[in-house]
Structures are given as structure tokens and as C-alpha cells.
Amino acid sequence: MAQPSSRGKSPILKAHSFAQLPATVQGVLDQEALKNEKKFATVRALVLLASTILDVLVFCFPQTLIGQPSVSPTVAMIGLTATGCSVGIVALLRRPVALVWLSKLQLLLPLFDGLLLLVFIGNIWRVFGEDQPLILTNVVALCALLAVSGGMRFRALASLVTTAIAALAFLYGAYLFQVTFTIALFTFFTILGIGFLSLMIGDIVRHQIRGEAGRFLMERFLPPEVVNTAFNQPQDLFREPLICDVTVMITDLRGFTHYSEKLEPAAVLAFLSQVQGLLSEIVEAHGGWVNKFMGDGMLAVFGAPTPLDNHAEIALAAAQVMLQKLPQISPLAMGIGLHSGPVVAGYLGDGHHVEFTVIGDTVNVASRIEALTKEVGPGLLISATTYGQIHLPMISVGYWPLRGRDQSLELFTLPPEALRLDLPRH
């Protein structure tokens, strides 16, 4: 039987508790914020590298480039030092420790940028003097760049810090270069305006980062294809329903009602979260999709909305893993029904609440087959339709009537050695 890809997961599947989701979501937020920090660090390093190359050229050819007989080497030395530090920051942000220090780095790095700017302003003043209006233009541009850089960071405080540092750096430059009061005041408020713009840009960045966290959460409820459509082409959400050939899996725990009577509600929820977490992880690892949880039951689909050529074999492989792994975390046995056929996959509901689901007779038959596991004996029952698509030896358990149907249906199961687990009759 063709085995589906495990997508790099460990063979020992671990159920994830719902309580872990907040930490996982925070991890997504941090990862997206770190991506932005890496991008800005790369831009910083490239800008400083270009500036340092120019500084070195000016030091080597001062007469040709700026019309002076010589230039102090401190300009080039500071540029080389700053570039080295920036490259080091890029390397640091690529290490795992960057996530641990991310919240502090988002405030420390603006301070680093501000310190660089102050050193740059003081150094060019010593080299070129105060009668260099073009140099002053560069100072203003760098202050504006620093003011707007805070908007790239996830924390709103970063925008305030970069704006304040940029404004102070400009006042320092205006004092050194003896800028007239009127021009200094106008430029100062321009930099503050740019800083205010960075706050608005920061809101956009934060919405984008939170959107990625929202995408992560949505993928816990909907197929990835549906989530991608909702985020990228929302107008396509309400396209015509798809008719897909699938294998539907229905699961149900045996004796759950009696078992849950002995537990507190919180303990029941924790138990179900662990069980359903394991089952859903197995389904997803095999390329399926959990359509819904029904208390202690589950409806999973293999072949929609993404088509699978061997959906019956994949669904059977997932069922085998479930029956092998479930006893590790649950004292209760489980029944599984598999049936293959066409379903309609689409969006159900109105403008107030919409659900992506599958409907059709295939779903109903799978549910009836699962219910028969209480009477027939084996914990896994497979319809003749699904059996016809699987190249494995199976055992026929005979023809059984389905509730609400006139004709009986032949059902199959795997031999105990294939299941590696002989579930008791319930």
C-alpha cells in the first residue's frame, strides 16, 4: 500500500494540548517580528557598507572627490566599525538566541542606530566644519530614516524611541552646523511628522504580523487551501461548490459517556483535547483534513479540497496509526468507519456565519458504518467501495443493514496482524 508522506514528522506522533496554543501563537508573532528585524538589519548593513566605501574613497582621494588636501581617517574608521557591528547584528538575528532577546533587541537596536547617527554627525562636523549645507541635508535624511525605522518593528514603543532619538540627533546636528532657528524648527517638526507616520506604518506591520498569527489559528479550523484563499483572494471564497471523490472517516470513542461521568468537566475537556489532538495530527500527517469534532467523535476527509489519487489507501493508513497510538493515551477503545464516494465541498451558511464543510450520502454512509462497529466487533469497518480501491488482503464481515437504507452493505476489516491491535467487542 502506498504510504503517505509524514512531512518530516517523528514516527511517534504527539498530541498537542489546546493549552499550548497561546505559546505557539506567540511564537508565530515573534517569528514574524524577527523576520522584519532581519530585513531592516540587512538594509542597515547595506547602507552602512555603501557609506563606508564612499568614506574610504574620500580618505584615499580627498582632493579629487571633495576638494580638500586631506581627510581625517576617523571617518573611514568609524564607518568600518559601524559596518562590522551591523554585519554582526545580521548574524546575531539569524541565531536561535535572537528570539529569546527579541523584545529587548527591538529597543536596543534603535539605540544602536541613534548612537551611530550621533557619532556620524559629530564626526562629519569635525571633518567638514559647519559650512557644508549638502552634508546637513544628509544628516536630515538619516534622521528621517531613523524616525521611520521604528514602524518596521512590532512594538509601538520602538516607533516612539526611534522618533525621539532622531529628533534629538537632528537638534544636535542643527546646533553643530548652526542652522537658523526657523529652518531648524521646521525640520524638527518634519522629523516628528515622519515619526508619527512610522507609528501608522507600525500599525500596518502589527496587523500584518497578527494576520500571520490569525492564519496559523485558522489553519487549525480549516484546510490550508481555504485559509490561503481567505487571506489572498477572499472574493473566491464563495465560488461554486466542488464535487470531489473522497474517503470519509468517522471515529467515535466507546463507553465515553460512562467514562466521563466519573470526571470533572475540565478533566473531560482535557481528555478530549488530548485524544482529538492526536487523531487530528495523524489525519493531517497523512494529508487529510478534519472537518469537525463531534464531542468524542470526529469527521475527517481525505481528498477534499485538495484531490488525492489514493485517498482510500491513505485513509486506511491513518486509521491503522490511530488504532495503534490511541491506547497510549486513552483507556477507551475506538470505532472507525471508512467509506469512499463523491461529496460536495463548499461553504455553508449566510453572511453572519459561514462554515466550509462536505455534505453528501458518502458522509451519511460512513457514519452508519462507524455505528456498526458496536455490533459487528472489529474496531475498523470498511465499505466495499473503499475496499475496491485498496490493494490489501481484507476479511469480509458479511452484509449488514444500514439504518435508513433498504439494501444491506458488505463490510470489510483488516486481519488482526495488519491492525496490530485486536479491539474487543463493544
Kindly list the structural domains of the chain, giving each domain's residue range(s) and its CATH number in brackets, ordered by start: 18-218 (no CATH), 238-419 (3.30.70.1230)
Average pLDDT of span 323-327: 91
Name the residue with cell 476479511: 395
pLDDT at 11: 32
Query: Which pLDDT band holds residue 87 (cuts at 50, 70, 90)?
Result: very high
286: pLDDT strictly greater than 80 = yes
The span from the CA of 105 to the CA of 107, in Å, is 5
pLDDT at 425: 37
pLDDT at 231: 57
Tell which wins on pLDDT, 36 or 275. Answer: 275
Tell which wins on pLDDT, 283 or 26. Answer: 283
Query: Which pLDDT band holds residue 113 (cuts at 50, 70, 90)?
Result: confident
- Of the ranges 17-31, 33-47, 369-383, the best mean pLDDT one: 369-383
220: pLDDT strictly greater than 80 = no
Q: How big is the CA angle at 119 (ends 115 and 125), to the nearest 5 degrees? A: 150
pLDDT by residue (tens digit) across 135-176?
677 788 888 888 888 777 767 777 888 889 999 999 998 888
pLDDT at 247: 96
pLDDT at 253: 94
Q: Which of 58-67, 134-143, 183-192, 233-242 has the lowest mean pLDDT?
A: 233-242
**Which grid coordinates are listed for 320?**
491503522
96: pLDDT strictly greater than 90 = no
pLDDT at 397: 93
Query: Which pLDDT band holds residue 251 (cuts at 50, 70, 90)?
Result: very high
**Which grid coordinates are listed for 282?**
495523524
DSSP lists the bridge partners of residue 413 as 395
Other C-beta atoms closer than 10 Å to the C-beta of 138 total 15
Percent of the chain with pLDDT over 70: 79
Q: Is 287 left (phi over 0), alpha (psi -120 to 50) or beta?
A: left
pLDDT at 237: 54
pLDDT at 103: 78
Average pLDDT of span 91-110: 84
pLDDT at 317: 93
pTM: 0.56
2: pLDDT strictly greater than 60 = no
Average pLDDT of span 386-403: 90
Please name the amino acid found at residue 138.
Answer: N
Average pLDDT of span 106-126: 83
236: pLDDT strictly greater than 70 = no
Q: What Å distances lie between residue 174 and 121, 161, 170, 188, CA to CA? A: 10, 20, 6, 9
Using a 10 angstrom Cβ sphere, with 0-12 exposed, 13-18 middle and 19 or more buried, the burial of residue 331 is exposed
